Amino acid sequence: MAEKVNYTEDNIRSLDWKEHIRMRPGMYIGKLGDGSAPDDGIYVLVKEIMDNSIDEFVMGNGKRINVKIKDGVASVRDFGRGIPLGKVIDCVSKINTGGKYDSKAFKKSVGLNGVGTKAVNALSDNFMVYSVREGEKKKAIFERGELIEDNKVEKTEERNGTYMEFVPDKTVFKNYKFRIPFLQKLFWNYCYLNRGLAIYFNGEKYISENGLKDLLEDNMENDPLYPIIHLEGDDIEVAITHVRGYGENYYSFVNGQHTTQGGTHLSEFRGAVAKVIKEFFGKNYDAVDIRQSITAAVSVKVIEPVFESQTKTKLGSQEIEPGGKSMRAFIHEFLKEKLDNYLHKHPEVAEVLERKIKQSEKERKELSGIRKLARERAKKASLHNKKLRDCRIHLNEQKKDRKEETTIFITEGDSASGSITKARDVNTQAVFSLRGKPLNSYGLTKKVVYENEEFNLLQAALNIEESIEDLRYNNVVIATDADVDGMHIRLLLLTFFLQFFPDLVRKGHVYILQTPLFRVRNKKVTYYCYSEEERVEAIEKCGRNPEITRFKGLGEISPDEFANFIGEEMRLDPVLIGKDMKIEDVLEFYMGKNTPSRQEFIIENLKVEETVE
């Protein structure tokens, strides 16, 4: 029987704004993280500051934003109107205070609830803000949301605008590290959506002239089958093409906000694209075949948008404005007119598109029989051969909504998988054991996914046959040895994912597990070192004659030690597809025939490995 607890006035607490944010940061910025994922909290902090500056640009104030991020310190300077000087402190320290409640001033703004900068303030070791208006400047400094310096208004020759600088709280964002590729993507997206805006990030200029057309051209991972279709209208812009490859790749935005989880606008866009193309050809093509290998971007402007979380990554609005046209009707009518007209005016594009649809249809039908046999084979194998050691969240139906917490380690060899299995958190971490090196799937068709037992079982374990949305684990971690064989297995797995399931990588689910190369210890202390530099530092700290162990494989690390490397202090390197990087070119270089350039690359990297020895 549950213990009785007195419930009196003493149990009721009122938290001030900063206490509530610090106690429940997830309510305001989503997950915390250490910067290894693009939606980790430190990037949300940057975005919250940037959104205010972007809104100023949208309102016609200031065409330049300066951003500097170095040594864990982030600063943003815009040249808009500047916060009214008498409200500088209130705007960054009072919940529900801001200029965006007046819908006339910020009709289609991203941030409408006056929380963003307050969350940054409360979750920063140090936060500084100043505003310049008409030759006067007001500055204030905070520590973890507490005002410590309130400067008087002073005269200045600086241009109008707002400056904010912050250092994320190290007790909240443990071992955090800003990763340049994630920041670059964030800033480029702002530029694609705001033509004419110049963002200077650490001195480098970002600017776009052609909006979403530039976005697709810069981020296309495979060659397009036909020129990008770029369509614009009132409050909507889209760019569409198909590429060689598998999957569907979308970039969706609302009021300049990158909705990484999509929402109503993206689902209606996907449906409308299939419907309009089907109607254009007058044939009942399957939507799956129409959208196979599509790469597209859609941006809409919505009055008073409703998002499904404070971080605004998924749109919930069913209408383009309160009481107005439905999202479905708005997007379908736009595409019915613009896309249909485009295809009529460009019959050569329509011809290529239909050829692609028929090819996808043919392949899908050829695979249908193989899939059935493969599913049955996977079901039998998973029952008897214990390749997958699942986590309890998936074995407990009531906890399946906690998928975001789950991780699967893909490892090779009995000793390595055994160590990870014994050391893991059985509630949230699963282990998949490979048997030997996987097949090099470069240049093969998707048929091999079902005919090759290892790939079929891995696909079944991840549950990604039908859709990436069905992925069972939020983090897919490749855990192989740091030697040449381990690197080769890593490349073979990445080839498999990039070739057949690129969305796994695009959406930030795939990571490489870092494990220590050395252990340096004396009788009092033990250091695990991930590089030669860390080894040298550890030797200096330990003093004379420390014991130094070189780990040559994961199997040499005991389960007790492994628990240190896959727990709270786990180091993960995200697998990123960079701007201007084409998957075809990368796979050809690494997994194609041994060209002289590839041989030279491997030799150079082997030399580096030898110096570590």
Whether 9 is covered by a domain: the verdict is no
Residues 79 and 126 in one domain: yes
Whether 247 is covered by a domain: the verdict is yes
- What are φ and ψ of residue 352, in 5° steps? -65, -40
The pLDDT, as a whole number, for residue 376 is 73
Residues 37 and 167 in one domain: yes
Stretches in the chain below the pLDDT threshold 50: 1, 101, 103-105, 112-113, 383-384, 398, 599, 602-613
Structure token digits, residue 191 = 């530029």
Contacts 24+ apart (CB under 8 A), 465-470: 465/371, 465/375, 468/247, 468/501, 468/503, 468/504, 468/507
Is 257:51 a contact under the CB 8 Å cutoff?
A: yes
Radius of gyration of the chain (CA): 26
Q: Compute how many other C-beta atoms are within 10 angstroms of the C-beta atom of residue 93.
A: 22
Query: DSSP labels for 194-242?
Result: STT-EEEETTEEE--SSTHHHHHHHH-SS-BSS--EEEEETTEEEEEEE
Residues 182 and 220 in one domain: no
The pLDDT, as a whole number, for residue 605 is 43
The pLDDT, as a whole number, for residue 183 is 92
Last residue of a domain, one of 182, 206, 230: 206
Last residue of a domain, one of 550, 565, 594: 550
The pLDDT, as a whole number, for residue 395 is 54
d(CA 286, CA 284): 6
The pLDDT, as a whole number, for residue 113 is 41
Residue carrying the six token digits 């400047």: 137
Residue carrying the six token digits 């705001």: 194
Whether 428 is covered by a domain: the verdict is yes
Residues 102 and 229 in one domain: no
Is 455:448 a contact under the CB 8 Å cutoff?
A: yes
Sign, CA dihedral 606-607-608-609, equals positive
Whether 370 is covered by a domain: the verdict is no
Whether 201 is covered by a domain: the verdict is yes
The pLDDT, as a whole number, for residue 204 is 93
Helix pair 347-384, 264-281: axis angle to 10 deg: 120
Provide the number of structural domains found in the chain. 4
Q: Which of 205, 337, 358 is nearest to 293 (CA)?
A: 358
Residues 528 and 494 in one domain: no
Is 142:175 a contact under the CB 8 Å cutoff?
A: no
The pLDDT, as a whole number, for residue 590 is 57
Query: DSSP labels for 92-110?
Result: HHSTT-SS-SSTTTSTT-S
For residue 338, CA distances in Å to 16, 353, 394, 424 come to 51, 16, 45, 53
- What are φ and ψ of residue 242, in 5° steps? -120, 150
d(CA 270, CA 320): 17
User: Which CATH number fits the domain that encloses residue 60?
Assistant: 3.30.565.10
Is 421:410 a contact under the CB 8 Å cutoff?
A: no
Residues 536 and 477 in one domain: no
Residues 493 and 446 in one domain: yes
- Bridge partners for 243 per DSSP: 224
CA angle (432, 435, 438) in 5-degree steps: 95
The pLDDT, as a whole number, for residue 383 is 46
Residues 342 and 270 in one domain: yes
The pLDDT, as a whole number, for residue 589 is 56
Q: What is the pLDDT of residues 438-450, one digit of tens each?
A: 888 887 788 888 8
Q: What is the pLDDT of residues 493-535, one digit of tens each?
A: 888 888 888 888 888 898 988 888 889 999 889 998 888 889 9
User: Which CATH number fits the domain that encloses residue 243?
Assistant: 3.30.230.10
**Burial of 584 from C-beta contacts in 10 A (0-12 / 13-18 / 19+):** middle
Coil/strand/helix, residue 139: strand
Domain encompassing residue 538: 518-550
The pLDDT, as a whole number, for residue 106 is 54
d(CA 338, CA 358): 23
Structure token digits, residue 45 = 């902090």
Burial call 54-71: b when 16+ CB within 10 Å, e when fewer: bbbbbeebbebbbbebee
Query: DSSP labels for 31-61?
Result: ----SSSTTSHHHHHHHHHHHHHHHHHHTT-
Residues 559 and 603 in one domain: yes
Last residue of a domain, one of 191, 206, 221: 206
Residues 99 and 227 in one domain: no
Whether 188 is covered by a domain: the verdict is yes
Residues 123 and 217 in one domain: no
DSSP-based helix, strand, coil % in the chain, nearest 5: 40, 20, 35
Residues 538 and 510 in one domain: no
d(CA 482, CA 155): 58
Whether 1 is covered by a domain: the verdict is no
Whether 409 is covered by a domain: the verdict is yes
User: Which CATH number fits the domain that encloses residue 604?
Assistant: 3.40.50.670
Residue carrying the six token digits 């380690």: 409
Coil/strand/helix, residue 192: helix
The pLDDT, as a whole number, for residue 404 is 75
